[in-house]
């Protein structure tokens, strides 16, 4: 096997060997080497292309969720519309979303948009929305939501201030402000996500009015009502908790680096902080770092290993888009994911997926 390749990505090659039992290692290494010769140029091209695309598009999972709400409440508004399949790509035309939102506001008002989050339980699972619904706390959910908007270079962003039983949300824009309909869509989605992680007796305050979830469909606002700010409140949480150490496999005897990796795997879509990880492992940050060093490991190395393991599974076993994989593995942006994967595997994620597909036919 190619020595450089083996040093660059031993875990990834091991995973390939497991998932491609009939693939000869020499041939697989050769396929990697054939692609690797142009890696620097191709990686740069990929990063530039992906960033440009994200600035022109929106998250397809949100568009699909909106389309489901429209199909249930006002199916005539979908006539002539083509809805991107979120399982075939993470990006959808931002103009398509804006057109649907405008149609809804003109013919039905804000109620349908505010109720979009109530369709999360019946909608098709999409990786990014699934990652958010698995949040241990509202604070973790808020971080994931804000990171999703940054990840896709959204021209409109939501700042979420988290309190013990409330979200205080404010919408900001790089260029022209978001429309009232777009603000209602995001407010409704956030309410649905808060409910999905176990928040009880939720209320949404927007446009000077307060709504319970079952009242949302009938919501109306006066023209020019301010919708850029909203409050989401709840009385209790019945979902998972982030307050105590989770039950980890082999916690009594396993090495700390293995326990830390297992902790990361409970929610890889989270932007893990070393202070949070140490608290959940019942250690101080200094003790955690010292014990990891004693195992010739580091916090960042264990986190990267866990992310790369998850990324390879997404790349080999699913059709999840490259953009969405990076988000679901906890990266701040697509460029960071591409660089980290290239540094670890000596190939880009796109090339890694291509190699594994080509390897299926190699005997």
Residue 122 CB: number of other CB atoms within 10 A? 8
pLDDT over 60 (residue 84)? yes
Q: Mean pLDDT over residues 334-338, rounded? A: 92
Give CA–CA dist 83/27, Å, rounded. 41
- The most confident of 6-10, 25-29, 191-195, by mean pLDDT: 191-195
Lowest mean pLDDT among 22-26, 215-219, 295-299: 22-26
pLDDT at 249: 54
What is the per-residue DSSP string for 105-126? HHHT-SHHHHTGGGGTTTSPP-
CB 178 within 8 A of CB 228: yes
pLDDT at 123: 74
High-pLDDT (> 90) share of the chain, %:
58
High-pLDDT (> 70) share of the chain, %:
76
The answer to whether the Cα torsion of 22, 26, 29, 30 is positive or negative is negative
Comparing 215 with 51, the larger pLDDT belongs to 215
C-alpha 318 chain-centroid distance: 15
Comparing 343 with 239, the larger pLDDT belongs to 343
pLDDT at 253: 62
Give CA–CA dist 39/101, Å, rounded. 41
Give CA–CA dist 255/302, Å, rounded. 12
CB 293 within 8 A of CB 255: no
Q: HSE of 272 in the Cβ direction (CA atoms, 13 Å)? A: 26
Alpha helices in the chain (DSSP H): 3-8, 10-19, 25-36, 39-56, 60-73, 94-107, 111-114, 127-133, 138-151, 180-196, 256-265, 274-280, 285-294, 299-317, 322-328, 334-345, 349-359
CB 148 within 8 A of CB 132: yes
pLDDT at 60: 81
**How far does the chain reach from its first CA to its final CA, in angstroms?**
16
Q: Mean pLDDT over residues 203-220, rounded? A: 96
pLDDT digits (tens, 9 = 90+) for 235-285: 999 866 555 555 665 555 689 999 999 999 999 999 999 999 999 999 999
pLDDT over 90 (residue 4)? no
CB 199 within 8 A of CB 237: yes
Q: Mean pLDDT over residues 328-333, rounded? A: 93
Enter the DSSP assignment of 217: G
pLDDT over 60 (residue 96)? yes
pLDDT at 250: 52
Lowest mean pLDDT among 91-105, 271-285, 294-308: 91-105
Collect all residues with Cβ–Cβ distance below 8 Å to 224 and sequence separation of at least 6: none
Lowest mean pLDDT among 80-94, 192-206, 246-260: 80-94
Residue 43 CB: number of other CB atoms within 10 A? 20
pLDDT at 248: 61
pLDDT at 361: 53
- Looking up tokens 């202070």 gives 275
Angle formed at CA 348 by CA 339 and CA 19, multiple of 5 degrees: 125
Structure tokens belonging to residue 304: 């990267």
Give CA–CA dist 70/77, Å, rounded. 7
Q: Mean pLDDT over residues 154-159, rounded? A: 90
């Amino acid at each position: 096997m190619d020595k450089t390749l083996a040093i660059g990505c031993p875990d990834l090659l091991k995973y390939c060997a497991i998932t491609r039992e009939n693939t000869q290692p020499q041939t697989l290494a050769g396929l990697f080497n054939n692609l690797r010769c142009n890696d620097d140029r191709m990686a740069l091209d990929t990063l530039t292309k992906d960033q440009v695309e994200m600035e022109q598009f929106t998250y397809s999972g949100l568009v699909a969720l909106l389309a489901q709400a429209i199909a249930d409440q006002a199916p005539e508004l979908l006539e002539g519309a083509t809805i991107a399949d979120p399982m075939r790509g993470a990006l959808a035309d931002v103009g398509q979303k804006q057109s649907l939102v405008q149609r809804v506001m003109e013919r039905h008002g804000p109620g349908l948009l505010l109720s979009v989050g109530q369709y999360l339980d019946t909608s098709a699972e999409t990786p990014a929305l699934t990652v958010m619904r698995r949040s241990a706390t509202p604070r973790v959910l808020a971080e994931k939501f804000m990171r999703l908007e940054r990840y896709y270079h959204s021209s409109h962003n939501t700042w979420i201030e988290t309190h013990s039983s409330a979200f205080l949300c404010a919408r900001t824009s790089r260029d022209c402000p978001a429309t009232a309909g777009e603000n209602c869509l995001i407010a409704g989605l956030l309410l649905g996500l808060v409910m999905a992680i176990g928040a009880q007796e939720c209320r949404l305050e927007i446009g000077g009015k307060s709504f319970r979830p079952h009242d949302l469909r009938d919501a109306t606002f006066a023209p020019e009502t301010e919708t850029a700010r909203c409050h989401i409140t709840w009385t209790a949480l019945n979902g998972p908790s982030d307050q105590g150490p989770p039950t980890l496999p082999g916690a009594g005897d396993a090495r700390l680096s293995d326990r830390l990796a297992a902790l990361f795997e409970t929610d890889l879509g989270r932007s893990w902080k070393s202070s949070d990880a140490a608290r959940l492992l019942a250690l101080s940050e200094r003790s955690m770092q010292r014990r990891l060093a004693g195992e010739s490991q580091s916090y960042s190395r264990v986190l990267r290993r866990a992310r790369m393991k998850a990324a390879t599974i997404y790349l080999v076993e699913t059709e999840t888009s490259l953009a969405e994989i990076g988000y679901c593995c906890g990266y701040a942006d697509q460029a960071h994911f591409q660089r980290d994967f290239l540094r670890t595997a000596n190939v880009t994620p796109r090339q890694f997926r291509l190699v594994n597909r080509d390897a299926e036919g190699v005997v």
